[in-house]
Amino acid sequence: MSGLILCSRKADVPYRIADADLNIYSIEEFAYYLYNNAYFVDDGFFNEGLCDYIENNLNLPKVAQKLMYAMGQRMNFAELVMIIIKSSRYYSETEIKAFEKELKTISSKGMLERMKTRADMLFENGKLGSALKTYENILNNNIYKRESNEFYAGVYLGIGKIEGRMFYLKEALEKFKHSYELKSSDEALKEIINVKFAMKYSGIKEDIDFTKENEINSELVLKCSEEVKDIWEQINNGTEYENLSQTFIYDGRHNLDDYYVNVQEVLDEWKNDYRSNIG
């Protein structure tokens, strides 16, 4: 999808999606909603009311007939979504092919699993704010059937990783501990160890004790310790931090306007990174 696209027809009366608190007025808006929210949409989204709206309010009888036929043939969730996506002509062929692959993964999962898959992908793409919100929505769920302890261990692990990235180290440690309590795993244990080392090196004035972790897996504690020391040495020996710190120091020998320009460039870069992470 690129540039501006003229909607084929905008209805006078909206189609209400209550779960999303959203009004839809065109087939393009339906496509956009499904493309970005497929993880949250259940099979009940596709019903006779939707087909009736598409046929009569959007004046797209062929699309409505395709949906009705597909529903009658009990086609799967992914196939129903793709009827809307392709009918809108809103997305490029490349985007559609990539989305079809994603849908295959989505359609084989339950609602909470879909949400977690989306959260995991958002995290991997650096969208920390959206990922955190999705993980929290899973924990606040009181509609869908609960999943296994292992599933929720993964959710708490994901939240802990996000909080760790945001330097909420104490909060991250609690999430990692809860994850490990739900399902003992080397991944959760490693995160517990790493965040403790991060707290230690960041100067948090609390007793950092590795006794319990050493009892469980002393070799992993040693390995993490060596990895953290290597990273810390790279930071101290590198020039990036030194160059950055020099940017914020005005020595009086250079043009003041140039100093402010350089500082603003760094701040703008941080702002862009922050907006990207919370998106």
- The string of DSSP letters for 127-168 reads -HHHHHHHHHHHHT--SSPP--HHHHHHHHHHHHHHHHHTT-
- Quick one: pLDDT at residue 223? 93
- Quick one: pLDDT at residue 193? 95
Residue 244: pLDDT band with limits 50, 70, 90:
low
- Whole-angstrom Cα distance, residue 29 to residue 25? 7
- Quick one: pLDDT at residue 168? 92
Residue 44: pLDDT band with limits 50, 70, 90:
confident
- Whole-angstrom Cα distance, residue 162 to residue 158? 6
Q: What is the mean pLDDT of residues 108-129?
A: 83
32 and 146, same domain (yes or no)? no
Residue 8 placed within a domain: no
- Quick one: pLDDT at residue 1? 46
Question: How does pLDDT run across 134-151, given as a tens digit for each residue?
Answer: 899 999 987 777 889 999
Residue 5: pLDDT band with limits 50, 70, 90:
very low
141 and 207, same domain (yes or no)? yes
Number of domains in the chain: 3
Q: What is the mean pLDDT of residues 57-86?
A: 93
> Which residues, listed in sequence order, are joined to residue 23 by a DSSP beta bridge?
16
- Per-residue b/e over 213-229, b at no fewer than 16 CB within 10 Å? beeeeeebbeebeeebe
Residue 67 placed within a domain: yes
Residue 152: pLDDT band with limits 50, 70, 90:
very high
Q: Supply the range of the domain harboring residue 152.
A: 111-237
Q: Which of 107, 128, 159 is the last residue of a domain?
A: 107
144 and 39, same domain (yes or no)? no
Residue 222 placed within a domain: yes
173 and 226, same domain (yes or no)? yes
Question: How does pLDDT run across 163-206, given as a tens digit for each residue?
Answer: 999 889 999 999 999 999 999 999 999 999 999 998 887 777 67
Q: What is the mean pLDDT of residues 50-75?
A: 94
Residue 9 placed within a domain: no
CATH number of the domain that 218 lies in? 1.25.40.10
pTM: 0.62
